[in-house]
Homo-oligomer: A and B are copies of this chain.
Amino acid sequence: MILYDYFRSSAAYRVRIALQMKGIVVEHRQVHLQRGEQSRPSYLATNPQALVPTLELDDGTVLTQSLAIIEYLEALRPEPRLIPVDPVLAARVRAVALAIACDIHPLNNPRVVKYLETELNAPETGVDAWRRHWLLNGLEAVERLIAPMGSPAGPFCFGAAVTLADVCLIPQLYSARRFETPLDHLPRILAVEAACADLPAFRAAHPSRQADAQ
């Protein structure tokens, strides 16, 4: 399989963690977003959204959207499970993943920030405030979603095992730290971050460890 990847993309980073967790080895092909490689006709034929990641299967089938790719990997190699079997717990795990993937990440995607700058003439301070606003708004909600009454204790978002919620949270925290977002008031999230930092799968998937890291 081939993963079309970019070291700093938090969506691609999620898929890298899932692949590492499941021990699936893929070929990585870098699509340099800052150089606009995602808009080349050859890549658009693969991914009409001009986004990373894309996973190309051995028969040439192309899968897009990080969460759809991770659900596919879960079906392909169920262990270790990233989505719990219990439907209610699965829904809570997916809700955290989606609170990040829908309500934080897309608002701060480079294409959106570029639109703010070029089409709405937003000043640099306005763009910085926008980024931090959606990061904080979303992460403060996640802090409450991962620690509801009666949920299991940590160290991860939903207990003793890594789930899709952790797989989405850690890349979003990498982005939050890049943009100097204050996180000290989010103790559950910081505990999850510390627990994941020790895991080989998360270390291997980190942006700084990728071939295109600069």
Contact = CB atoms under 8 A, between A and B. Distances in A.
B91 A72 contact: yes
Contacts of A69: 91
Given A98-B68, A120-B116, A49 B91 contact: no
A68 B48 contact: no
Contact of A72 (B90, B97, B98): B90
Given A49-B141, A102-B106, A115-B133, 6 more contacts: A48-B144, A49-B103, A64-B145, A65-B99, A72-B90, A98-B101
A25 interface: no
A112 interface: yes
Interface string A80-106: 000000011011101101110111011
Interface stretch (A1-9, A30-38, A122-130, A203-211): A122-130
A76 interface: yes
18 contacts: A48-B141, A48-B144, A49-B141, A50-B141, A51-B103, A63-B88, A64-B145, A65-B94, A65-B98, A65-B99, A68-B90, A68-B92, A68-B97, A72-B88, A101-B102, A102-B105, A103-B106, A120-B120
Q: How many copies of this chain does the complex contain?
A: 2
Interface string A182-197: 0000000000000000
A166 to B, nearest CB: 16
A180 interface: no
Given A106-B103, A106-B107, A120-B126, A87 B76 contact: yes
Contact of A67 (B64, B87, B98, B115): B98
Contacts of A67: 94, 98
A202 to B, nearest CB: 22
A161 interface: no
Contacts of A94: 65, 67-68, 71
A57 interface: yes
